[in-house]
Structure 1
Amino acid sequence: MANADRPGWQLGTLRGVPVYIGRTWPIIAVVVIATFGPQVADAYPDLGAGAYIVAFIYTLLLLLSVVAHEAAHALVGQWRGYHVRRIVADLWGGHTAYDTDDSSPMSSALVAVVGPLANAVLALAGWLALHAVADDREVARLLIGAVVFTNGFVAIFNLLPGMPLDGGFILDAVVWRLTGSRSAGLLVAGWCGRVVAVGFVGWTVVRPLVRGETPQTFYVLWSVLIAGFLWVGAGNAIARARAGRLFARVRVRDVLRPAAIAPDTALAAQLPQATDVVVVDQRGVPWGVIAPAELQRAAGPGLQEVRAAALARVQPAGWVAEVPSVDVDVTALVRAAQDVGGAIQELLVVVDGQPAGLVAIQALGDALAAAERPTSAPV
Structure 2
Amino acid sequence: MRTSGAPGWLFGTLRGTPIYIGRTWPIIGLIIVVTFGPQIEHSYPDLGAQAYFVALLYALLLLLSVLAHEAAHALVGQWRGYRVRQIVADLWGGHTAYDTDDTSPLSSALVAVVGPLANGVLALLGWGLLGVVDGDIPRLLLFAFVISNTFVAAFNLLPGMPLDGGFLVDALVWRITGSRSAGLVVAGWCGRAVAVLVVLWAVGWPLLRGGQPDTFYVLWSVLIAGFLWMGASNAIARGRSSRLFARVRVRDVLRPVALVPGDAALAQLPPGVDLAVVDPRGAAWGFIPAAQVAQVPVTTPATITAQSLAQVQPAGWVARVDSPDADVTELVRAAQEAAPGIHQLLVVAGDQPIGLVSIEQLGNALGAAERRGSAQPEKH
Q: Distance in 2 between matches of 1:299 and 1:106?
A: 60
Pick the aligned partner of 2:281 from 276, 280, 283.
283
Which of 140, 143, 167 is 1:142 aligned to?
Answer: 140
Give 1:123-142 correspondences, 5 Å limit. 123-134=123-134, 137-142=135-140
Alignment of 1:1-379 (within 5 A): 1-2=1-2, 5-101=5-101, 103-134=103-134, 137-374=135-372
Contact 2:314 2:339 in 1 (8 A): no
When structure 1 is superposed on structure 2, of 92-101 and 54-63 the one drifting more is 92-101
Which whole-Å deviations, capped at 9, do the CAs of 1:132-169 have from their partners, x for residues lacking one? Answer: 123xx111111000000000000010001100001101
Distance 1:255 1:369, change over 3 A: same
CA distance in 2, matches of 1:374, 1:306: 47
Q: Deviations over 1:264-304 (max 9, x none)?
A: 11112111111111110011000111111111222322253
Partner AA of 2:171 in structure 1: A
Counterpart-to-counterpart distance in 1, 2:102 and 2:263: 36
TM-score, normalised relative to structure 1 = 0.96
CA-CA distance at 1:209 after TM superposition: 2.8
Structure 1 residue 318: Cα displacement: 1.0
CA distance in 2, matches of 1:172, 1:303: 62
Query: 1:3 Cα shift?
Result: 5.3
**How many residue pairs were aligned?**
375
The alpha carbon displacement at 1:347 in A equals 0.7
Change in 2 beyond 3 A, CA 1:365/1:56: same
Superposition deviation, residue 343 in structure 1:
2.5
| Gapped regions of structure 1 (runs ≥ 5) | none
- For residue 170 of structure 1, report the CA deviation from its aligned partner: 1.2
Find the residue that maps to 1:164 and give its secondary structure.
Answer: coil
Paired with 2:336 and 2:213, the residues of 1 have a C-alpha distance of: 44
Q: Distance in 1 between matches of 2:3 and 2:259?
A: 41
Shift of 1:210: 4.4
Distance verdict in 2 for CA 1:24–1:77, change over 3 Å: same
Cα distance in structure 1, aligned partners of 2:4 and 2:208: 47
- Displacement, 1:206? 2.6
Q: Is the 8 A contact 1:205 1:223 kept in 2?
A: no
3-state secondary structure, aligned to 1:266:
coil
Which amino acid in the other structure matches residue 305 of structure 1? T
Change (3 A) 1:303 1:277: farther
Q: Distance in 2 between matches of 1:115 and 1:220?
A: 27
Cα pair 1:268 1:303 within 8 Å, conserved: no
- Give the Cα separation in 2 of the matches to 1:341 and 1:370: 25
Deviation at 1:2, TM superposition (A): 3.2
Q: 2:272·2:294 contact (CA, 8 Å) conserved in 1?
A: no
State the secondary structure of the residue aligned to 1:133. Answer: coil
Which residue identity is paired with 2:18? P
1:69–1:115 CA contact under 8 A, matched in 2: yes
For the Cα contact (< 8 Å) 1:69–1:118, is it kept in 2?
yes
Please say which of residues 197-206 and 152-161 is displaced more in the overlay.
Answer: 197-206
Tell me the secondary structure at the aligned position of residue 133 of structure 2: coil
CA separation in 2, counterparts of 1:231 and 1:39? 31
Deviation sequence 1:230-261 (CA, Å, 0-9, x none): 00000000000111111111110110111111
Q: CA RMSD in A?
A: 1.3
Name segments (4+ residues, structure 1) moved above 3 Å: 1-4, 374-377
Residue type of the partner of 2:187?
A
TM-score between the two structures when normalised by the length of structure 2: 0.96
CA distance in 2, matches of 1:330, 1:184: 18
Asked if structure 2 preserves the Cα contact closer than 8 Å seen for 1:269 and 1:303, the reply is no
Query: Which string of whole-angstrom CA distances, capped at 9 and with x for unpartnered residues, describes residues 56-109 of structure 1?
Result: 111111111011011111111111111111111100001111122462111111
2:211 match: secondary structure:
coil
SS at match of 2:91: coil
